[in-house]
Structure 1
């Protein structure tokens, strides 16, 4: 399978030499074995931070544009206003197994998982690392592994669970049931919480996961598995953590104004990916790709069921996080695009002001709200939603009378708060049951057929890529892709 075309310890060494933006460790020479990499703190640290560098080094990758953009197009957030077959397949929910982007969404997480496995093995066996560094790199490696598996199971369903570096054993590994993969995700995050500290390591930028990042992702994993008691508990731990806040100052020039939420190291950031390729003043691949020069190619949906009308009148998220373009030749046609990232191209040679947001503090309130409502704690859940709405300048909600009523409030707030961020809307539509009560149907079945006439229920999962199936005799296609 393509997931296992690993380059063994050479991959780790490559990242040691490419991550100096994250931590200055010098350039190790002639260190070709993992046992050597985990002899000292500097090279062990470089092995893990190099993964983050590779996650964000190039455009249209799993860890930047692709997961966000393809998730948005697979759902109902925005479309691509041109013809590109690989994009059209996601927009129309008719992804083919040979789609090059589906292949990237599969192969890159497995690449990072292998490297995380190598770090877990190498750091665990080391007798020369300091206890502080050993805990840090082990915690980060477990976090990375959990993070990648979270996206794999939500995009592809059952996937091979590979937890070591034995290529021969893993090459033809069959798909593991989703529930077992989630068990491994949760175990990794629980352990990462124990190993990591609240402070961000090294230069204190929010570009390496800390205990709060592991806690937030754990809260999400519990929520997706309908363990609402623990989801509420973990989300509450994030909310009460010092150093984080919703940015809601009324003065746009103030550092705490909501337009500053996506700046590097903002108090709303729980984990970000640092810009690596700064050519021509680039800040984030997301901003560089989606902020238009003229007419936007990525346009938010604005039909009656679209994202634009989902915002209430006066919602500050719309005025501050949505861009507007009116073509001069047709002033009656207005195009809207996500504008959370403000910088398309900055000034060459000037330090970037924005980093790619991966985990954001606001999600903790939304997780706790949903978990509370699912436990019939309607007033408490409503209050969490009202915290989010207050920042947006909206009036308070009334207490819902039922779980069904409360969940519609949750759905609406998640849609307008987390739009164009890491496929949240797509994953929500797939994980929530249909309000029709029809067994096996999801909210995607309720909503997407209105604008996607070719919609099929099996489209909630992307196809297992052709290259993976060709190289692993035990991989089977997802339903609907035979």
Structure 2
């Protein structure tokens, strides 16, 4: 069993850390007692365990990010349960403040932040710890707090900034104030973290700089404010507020360079070796990962593996989440080695003497392949039961694209070219498909090809201010055609329409008809028990 953040941490200490979590917005999210009074941190191990507790709530979000941000794009549909359930609602752009996925993500991020706040205070106040343990454990807590706030501000916009325990905060801080705090936390963390850790589940200077490159790229594209979103919240068009802040984009380049020039990380030679249980905690491409031991062992298994391959080789059944079209698959050059691992169309079943199954129309659509584990005997079938694949929070390829995108925005396209070509050289196994010049569209296409089903599409579209137009591109998809509207009829392709493709048609039309400017962020949700968190005003349009 792998160990998270600090080796040797006992389950009892992690449970203790979870007990002291404070819901930063309103009140504790459960009825567990809050540990108060004199610091309970008396040993170095307890200090690290206290920080480690912040990963408990965050672990449970690995698959929730998929349902929230993958389904809120043109490329993905969710058929998780009945059409009235949370996943399909997000997929159809009918999300409400009570939808389980924003509720879960918002509340558990704040619960994790509450744990980091408590850890920082108690560890800083303790006189029983070694100087090194105090320094590194506080740095880890600040790294995590910065990471958690980076998701909150992108998903929900202006959010309450809660930096200490014992306070109820419902006032929403400005976008710039939240980003300034994120940068402060990550910068202070970077100063005191070790240069490198061979296990990517442990934060290091490399992971802090990698996340800083991401944060500065987003902030440098000047995120929309509440008032700006309100202007087009109920309109089916993108915002006209498109600006960049060059000093922040230069910082994105600077922090990416610290990772690139540090010499500790690199692209793996084989794209397929990035993913799967057998490739965890040793790949030099992994910079920071979220550890999973699987269902019933950690806080919650990584259900990205289960939900993208829910019924394995039962082709007629609807996966919980999957591609909405074949058009994106067609973007790949046939010789691009990323294609079949990203959009899997053919797979052998080890339980049937490696019988080949085709995941293609008119039966079904391809499966997202990155979390179909293929690294140990019969893992294709077993992994969707155990859900034990670690989630890759950030990998070296993202740092390359963060820098390349920032450089192109700064007009330094020639400097971005070799970064993009590193990815293409690996993808094709040689330099024959390398670009001779790079444009904004080249960068955006490379994001799509490299990071399919890694929770980038929605964040990218929001950063580029193209969300509405991107989603409306579904009108050009095969299954948007009205000949696929009714199961049992004959579709445009000449085949009888199955219930699966009738549902795909329904979701594509719902995406096109429902997407609005308000979807540049999700609604401020209720608490996990349905309570009003008191955070006002609500995001425009909800």
- Regarding TM over 0.5, the answer is yes
Which string of whole-angstrom CA distances, capped at 9 and with x for unpartnered residues, describes residues 335-384 of structure 1? 21221123267769xx9984221111110100110111111111111211
Does structure 1 residue 319 correspond to structure 2 residue 343? no
**Partners of 2:516 and 2:335 in 1: how far apart?**
36
**Partners of 2:534 and 2:364 in 1: how far apart?**
50
Superposition map of 1:259-408 within 5 A: 259-262=272-275, 263-265=279-281, 266-277=283-294, 284-292=302-310, 293-294=312-313, 295=315, 297=319, 298-304=321-327, 307-324=328-345, 332-343=362-373, 354-393=389-428, 395-400=433-438, 406-408=439-441
SS at match of 1:267: coil
> Which of 403, 426, 429 pairs up with 2:461?
429
**Partners of 1:35 and 1:271 in 2: how far apart?**
33
> Which of 41, 49, 55 pairs up with 1:46?
49
Distance change >3 Å, CA 97–CA 25, structure 1 → 2? closer
Distance change >3 Å, CA 35–CA 395, structure 1 → 2? farther
Distance change >3 Å, CA 333–CA 140, structure 1 → 2? same
Q: How far off its partner does 1:258 sit?
A: 2.0
SS at match of 1:453: helix
Which string of whole-angstrom CA distances, capped at 9 and with x for unpartnered residues, describes residues 74-118 of structure 1? 012321246443112211222111112111011000000011111
**Partners of 1:329 and 1:132 in 2: how far apart?**
53
Q: How far off its partner does 1:152 sit?
A: 0.7
**Partners of 1:465 and 1:357 in 2: how far apart?**
26
Contact 1:229 1:371 in 2 (8 A): yes
Contact 2:345 2:359 in 1 (8 A): no
> Which of 446, 466, 470 pairs up with 1:443?
466
Name the structure 2 match of 1:6.
none
Name the structure 1 match of 2:538.
477
Q: How far off its partner does 1:37 sit?
A: 3.0
**Partners of 2:536 and 2:154 in 1: how far apart?**
17
Distance change >3 Å, CA 301–CA 309, structure 1 → 2? farther
TM-score (norm 2): 0.72
Which string of whole-angstrom CA distances, capped at 9 and with x for unpartnered residues, describes residues 312-343 of structure 1? 33211112333225978986445212211232
Q: How far off its partner does 1:51 sit?
A: 2.5
Name the structure 2 match of 1:437.
none
Name the structure 2 match of 1:211.
205
Name the structure 1 match of 2:40.
37
Name the structure 2 match of 1:464.
524
Count how many residue pairs are aligned between Structure 1 and Structure 2: 425
Distance change >3 Å, CA 392–CA 334, structure 1 → 2? farther
**Partners of 1:20 and 1:412 in 2: how far apart?**
34
Contact 2:345 2:367 in 1 (8 A): yes
SS at match of 1:358: strand
**Partners of 1:30 and 1:141 in 2: how far apart?**
16
Contact 1:385 1:410 in 2 (8 A): yes
SS at match of 2:154: helix
**Partners of 1:245 and 1:73 in 2: how far apart?**
30
Name the structure 2 match of 1:176.
173
Does structure 1 residue 152 correspond to structure 2 residue 152? yes
Which string of whole-angstrom CA distances, capped at 9 and with x for unpartnered residues, describes residues 382-420 of structure 1? 2111111111116111224xxxxx211111111111221
Name the structure 2 match of 1:75.
73
> Which of 195, 199, 205 pairs up with 1:198?
195
**Partners of 2:306 and 2:264 in 1: how far apart?**
29
SS at match of 1:288: helix
Gapped regions of structure 1 (runs ≥ 5) = 1-18, 249-256, 401-405, 433-441
TM-score (norm 1): 0.81
Name the structure 2 match of 1:143.
143
SS at match of 1:277: coil
Contact 1:160 1:175 in 2 (8 A): yes
Which string of whole-angstrom CA distances, capped at 9 and with x for unpartnered residues, describes residues 165-187 of structure 1? 023xx24x211111110010011
Contact 1:116 1:142 in 2 (8 A): yes
**Partners of 1:126 and 1:443 in 2: how far apart?**
49
**Partners of 1:24 and 1:66 in 2: how far apart?**
28
Contact 2:54 2:113 in 1 (8 A): no
Name the structure 2 match of 1:410.
443
Provide the aligned C-alpha RMSD in A.
3.0
Distance change >3 Å, CA 353–CA 157, structure 1 → 2? closer
Name the structure 2 match of 1:220.
214
Contact 1:53 1:276 in 2 (8 A): no
**Partners of 1:360 and 1:46 in 2: how far apart?**
25
**Partners of 2:37 and 2:423 in 1: how far apart?**
46
Gapped regions of structure 2 (runs ≥ 5) = 18-34, 221-247, 347-355, 374-378, 475-511
**Partners of 1:458 and 1:20 in 2: how far apart?**
37
Distance change >3 Å, CA 413–CA 158, structure 1 → 2? same
**Partners of 1:328 and 1:30 in 2: how far apart?**
48
